Amino acid sequence: MDDIAKALGVNKSTVSRAINNHSLISTEMREKIEKMCRKMNYIPNSIS
């Protein structure tokens, strides 16, 4: 998650909120984060 945040120039909490579909994250930002997650083969850890 840190790498995704760094690549997009956003806070780690923004990435976390986007992954968890939080209402504070815009659709545009969520799409950017989801795209970067796919590009970086990010798999969320449900335990953490």
Residue 44: per-residue pLDDT: 80
* 18 CB-contact burial (10 Å; exposed 0-12 / middle 13-18 / buried 19+): buried
Taking residue 22's Cβ as centre, other Cβ atoms within 10 Å add up to 12
Chain centroid, CA 23 distance in Å: 13
Domain spans, the chain: 2-39
pLDDT digits (tens, 9 = 90+) for 6-36: 999 999 999 999 999 999 999 999 999 999 9
Read off the pTM: 0.85
